[in-house]
Structure formats: structure tokens, C-alpha cells
Amino acid sequence: MEQPLLSMEGITKQFPGVTALDDLSLELRAGEVHALLGENGAGKSTLIKVLYGVYRPDAGSIRIDGRRVHVEDAQHATRLGIGVVFQELNICTHLDVANNIFLGRPKNTLGVIDERWMRREAGRILADAIKLDIDPARLTRHLSIAEQQMVEIAKVVSRGCRIIVFDEPTSSLTENEIEHLFEIILDLKRQGVGIIYISHRLEELPRIADRVTVLRDGRRVGTMDYKDTSSDELIRLMVGREFTSKYPKYERKIGEIIFEVKNLRCRNKLDIGGLTVRAGEIVGLAGLVGAGRTESMRALFGVDPADEKEAVLFGKTMHFRTPGEAIDEGFVYMTENRKLFGLCFTLDVESNINLASLRQLSSAAVMNERRAADNAESFRSRLAIKTPSIRVKAKNLSGGNQQKVILAKWLSRKARVLVFDEPTRGIDVGAKYEIYKLMNELSDQGIGIIMISSELPEILGMSDRVVVYREGRIAATLDRTEADSELIMRYATGVKKR
Ligand SMILES: Nc1ncnc2c1ncn2[C@@H]1O[C@H](COP(=O)(O)OP(=O)(O)OP(=O)(O)O)[C@@H](O)[C@H]1O
Ligand SMILES: [Mg+2]
């Protein structure tokens, strides 16, 4: 049998209170895309960090081309030909694109740092590696999250690694960029690079995956050829039970209109009017990325300025100037971006959950510790947040579990209208179902919900009405009974006929 490019055998890694990896083995062949699947907290990122020398395993061995290696640190991993695009963006936002790409690499000719040479090289790398035209002199903090991600990918891909890991690379990319990334991956594969691909989006796999390994609770539950398996089987392996439906059945009791955006304008980017939400209703906002859904909600919430803004909440005209004012009135916007907003990595899970509702949890300005702990515990169990204790620091949670902590934080606030922006991004199938159930419970309390989502099945599965955005305007408002993906896409793109 052919020698695998990489083999990890019997890897075990413990953290206080958790066995993140338990006697886990994985083999990677040259020229294959090996998908690594598992619920939030299953151990995927930890395995990659062991491979990259971030963590030392408690037991187990790693071989490359059959030769035993002890990966010391990231530099050593790079020398061994291992490259990783991490789940958390690794970019230095105070540096420009060129310096990011050259981080940890020689950046000189004749012994001096040569900025011009570096920029020219970086431009070439961007063009060659990812066929993208980004100015190497731009500060990365001025790039969109997707562009930052692409720079990160260029950095790793251009190093000529033989083993490349992508840990949830697509969660912040648009459709076009995802397609672009797949072409890059298929190209690497043709060059014989071995690729480990981590994603929660099973619908991506047919396009690229050769084999799949499923992890559960730090153990391997199966490795198979992708073509011999099915989504249903993969979900069953990941979650350990059968899923009959992705969306919980629910009869919603919808009341009167409680919130209306009468007029929202922002230069020539946004022109929104007539967006209504009724008590207990879930309104899905559909549209292409860049259609202005997030922008409009951020402007309403008071994070970004608007030229004109008129909204009515329970009959009262609202002019939220700051997020604080909006929250006080019961209008809460939950951001899609957990990395920039929302989570304090150095605080524990409990503090993060309670951060936005300190006032409600206090009496006479003193925080009621009992109530605070109870609140955090109750969300931990409702959202199945995987952590040994609520005293664990947020940075030690897996990516998807961090996302759940942010949800819990905003849900502990008493809201009357809640905006969920991409609520299930990076979240595994089982936990998605829990989040949908929670949305139904919230609607049952008469809360109006606006859900921004790029996943059409999610929009169709959860919304009572679907509002379709196109180029900063509302292109259509559809009732659940008349909405289907084709109609939504037609309004979203402005293409009239098939
Ligand atoms: N530095 C750490 N300290 C303590 N616990 C940790 C640390 N890193 C990871 N863990 C724990 O190890 C387990 C596995 O986490 P890991 O990040 O590998 O999950 P994952 O499969 O990548 O999940 P996700 O899909 O949510 O990204 C989790 O229970 C997590 O809380
Ligand atoms: Mg992870």
C-alpha cells in the first residue's frame, strides 16, 4: 500500500476537565481533500493545533512520509511543509497586506528590509496564489473580513506547503469567493498537496471532498470515501442520533405590527421603507451578500450613521443614536462577527453571558451573584454550550461554542425586537436545531424577530415572511406560503425570467 503523506496515530490531548482528543488517528494522502467533520467542540481545531505544534500531545505520534516528527512550533511546522489557515483569523490588522504575507519570512534583498520589493512580491503572490487584486500597501484593518481571509489563504498557499489545513475557511466568504477558494483547493490537489478541510457546511463537500473523517467527543467515529456516504449518514455519525427534520415544527401565534422601519437612508447605499415585524413573527431577510441587510440593521441599531432614520416601535417613534439606547428600548441586534464584537476572550463564560444584562441582574447596583450564575447556567444547558464549567475563559471554548456564548449574552437581555445576523454560522447541525427552537420560544413570548441569513433553506425553514433585499432596497416581501428559493433568487438578483 502506498505510504500516506501524513499519519497521526493515537493522538490524545487533555485540557483541565476535558479530553479534547482521545486516541485519535488520521491519515492524509498526497493529492486528496480530506474533510474533517464533527460537532462544535468535537476536537477538530485541537487536532490541527497539535499538527502545527501549537499544542504538545499527551500521547501519540505524527509521521510525514513515514518518518516520525516532533513538531516543536509553528516555524518548525512550516519547515516540515505544513500550512494552516486557522478558524480564528490570524491577521495583524495594524500591518499592511505585504507585511502580513511576509510575516515570519525573509523580507530583504542584500540584508536590508526592502519595502518596495516586498510589496511587489506580495502583489505577485496575491495574483498567483489566489488570483486576486488587493493592493499590498493597504492596511489589513481596512479590508473586509472576506478579503482578510483571502490574504491569509494567500499567505499559507504561497509557502509551497505539502500539507495544508483549512479550518472553516468559508464561514465569512461570499458565494463567489467560496467558488474561488474551491478552484484554489482543486489546483493544489492537482499539484499533489494533501488537504484537510474542516467545515460545518455539508453542502460544500460534493464539490471537493475525496474522503471524510468524522469526530465525536475527541474520537474518530469513521473514515470513508465521500462518494460512499450521504449527508444523512454523516449527520448521524456526528451527532449520534437520527435527524428527521432540520427545522422544529411550530405553530406561531402572530399578533399586531410592533416594529416598522418607515424610512432609512444612507447616501446612495440604502433606501429602506415599509419593513414591518409583527409580535411573535419571524421575518427573514434574504439577499445577496452586499445587498445591505447587515448595513441597514447596523444603521438602525446606531452602530453606523444614517442620513435619515425613522422607525416606530410599539407606536413610538424611535431615533436610536447609539446601540445603548436601542438596547434600552428593547431593540437588540446580534452581530454576525464574533471576532470583532461580542466576546471578551479573557473573561469567563459566565461573565460574557451576563455582560449585556448586568443591570437586570443587579439590585441597588450590586450584582446578584446567584442570579448571574443561574442565568449563565440556564443558557449553558439550553444552548448546549460545551464547557467543563461556566468559569472557563471564553478563549478556551471551541469556535462554535463561542458563537453560542454570544447568542446567550444577547438573549439574556429583555428584547422586544431581536435581529439575528447569520445566527447559525459555524454552528453544527444539532446546535442549529436548538437555536431554531429557541427562536420559536422567543416568538412565543411575543418578541418580533428579524433573521438575516445567507442560507436559503434556513430562511425558508424559519420565516413567516421573507423580505428580499437588492442593492440597498427592498425588492419584495413574500409570504411564507408563496416564497421559494427560485422566487427569492429572482428578486435578489433582479433577473426576471428563468
Ligand atoms: N486551550 C484550551 N483550554 C481548555 N480547553 C480547550 C482549549 N482548547 C480547546 N479546548 C476544549 O477542547 C474541546 C475541543 O475543542 P476544539 O476547538 O478542538 O473543537 P472543534 O471541533 O474545533 O469545534 P468548533 O466546530 O466549534 O470549532 C472543547 O471542549 C474545547 O472547549
Ligand atoms: Mg474549531
Q: Please return the burial class of 426, using the count of CB atoms within 10 Å of its CB with bins 0-12, 13-18 and 19+.
A: buried
| From 22, 37, 46, 392, mutation site for ligand 1 pocket: most ligand atoms within 8 A of C-beta | 46
Pick the residue whose CA is nearest to atom 1 on ligand 1: 396
Mean of pLDDT values over 2-22? 94
Would the CA dihedral through 68, 167, 134, 304 be positive or negative? negative
- Mean pLDDT is lowest, of 39-43, 159-163, 187-191, 354-358, for 354-358
Query: In terms of Cα–Cα distance, which of 409, 381, 389, 386 is closest to 348?
Result: 389
Helix, strand, or coil (residue 90): coil
Task: Calculate the alpha carbon distances from 336 to 149, 209, 429 in Å.
Answer: 15, 27, 18
Atom of ligand 1 nearest to the CA of 400: 26
Domains and CATH numbers, the chain: 6-239 (3.40.50.300), 257-493 (3.40.50.300)
Task: Find the angle CA(102)-CA(105)-CA(111) to the nearest 5 degrees.
Answer: 105
Euclidean distance between CA atoms 457 and 51, whole angstroms:
35
Pick the residue whose CA is nearest to atom 8 on ligand 1: 396
Euclidean distance between CA atoms 486 and 498, whole angstroms:
9
Mean of pLDDT values over 387-416? 88
Mean of pLDDT values over 219-238? 93
pLDDT at 327 over 90: no
Position 111 scores a pLDDT of: 60
What are the b/e assignments for 146-177, b being 16+ CB within 10 Å? bbbbbbbbbbbbbbebbbbbbbbbbbbbeeeb
Position 390 scores a pLDDT of: 94
412 Cα–ligand 2 center, Å: 25
Mean of pLDDT values over 330-353? 81
Residue 498 pLDDT level (bands cut at 50, 70, 90)? very low
Pick the residue whose CA is nearest to atom 24 on ligand 1: 40
pTM of the model: 0.80
Say yes or no: CB of residue 19 within 6 Å of ligand 1.
Answer: no
Position 497 scores a pLDDT of: 55
pLDDT at 109 over 70: no
41 Cα–ligand 2 center, Å: 7
